[in-house]
Amino acid sequence: MPKKLRGAKTLLTGATGGIGRTLARTLAAHGADPVLTGRRAELLEPLAAQVGGRAVPADLADRGAVEELLAAAGEIDIVVANAALPATGLLAGYSLDQVDRALEVNLRAPVVLAKLVAEQMLARRRAHLVFISSLSGKTASGQASLYNATKFGLRGFALALPEDSRPFNVGVSSVFRGYISDAGMFADSGAILPPGVGARTTDDVARATVRAIERDIAEIDVAPFGLRLTALLGGIAPRLAAAVQRHLSAEAITEQLAEGQRTKR
């Protein structure tokens, strides 16, 4: 049984999504005491009962929701910040309210959550923060400028945060997923991958999350080699990476994602 997760009160955001449900079950199976949160109470409460955890409904698009969530949850040992809104598509197609919602849920909420939880954690010197992110936080792509902005910002925050908390034994990890075949934004959108572009599963994301916590790994990619290589290239030679993505029809995939997720912005 993993040592960090055993008996650890673990707050999971975005628990009612496809990846969130798998994370909830996996964390509980590895000994965590889950506190699950999400917008849909009708899905959240049965899931919490199934994994032996507690449900605390919250809409992270609302200012003040994080403070209310933590007040209800009590002291937390581990946070898995998984909640996110779809934010693909041309920026011109977003209303200002939709822009604000994406920034609020995808970037501000995990930052505020980390700040407030860390204030509890520092005194106990036993804690871990995990940010479930995307390869979109490592390389930019067409029709995803808003999503890229939130995920690039989250990556910078997560990389810098350990320096602030190093004396207090607070671990920080990011899990960068590629396309997920069985649930989540990509699967829900109905988008189709071209030949040669692979995907991973929600179980892969959950296993990587457990490994990140137990081994205190800063960053883990959950994607086939080709996508991981493209993400690496995006940090070294952005224009070349953009050309590779065009060759792989990445923008067409992103366009399908945007269309399939338009109602969830």
What is the set of active-site residues?
A: 147
Helix (H), strand (E) at residue 37? none
DSSP character at residue 22: H
Residues facing 200 on adjacent strands: 180
5 vs 254: CA distance, rounded Å: 35
| Sequence-ordered list of residues with C-beta below 8 angstroms from that of 96, at least 6 positions apart, any chain | none
74: left (phi over 0), alpha (psi -120 to 50) or beta: left
Give the number of C-alpha atoms closer than 13 A to the C-alpha of residue 40, restricted to the C-beta side. Answer: 12
60 vs 66: CA distance, rounded Å: 7
Q: What is the 3-state secondary structure (H, E, C) of 74-136?
A: CCCCEEEECCCCCCCCCHHHCCHHHHHHHHHHHHHHHHHHHHHHHHHHHHHCCEEEEEEEEHH
**The residue type at 56:** V
| Sequence-ordered list of residues with C-beta below 8 angstroms from that of 199, at least 6 positions apart, any chain | 178, 179, 180, 181, 186, 193, 224
Assess contact for 155 and 235: CB atoms under 8 A.
no
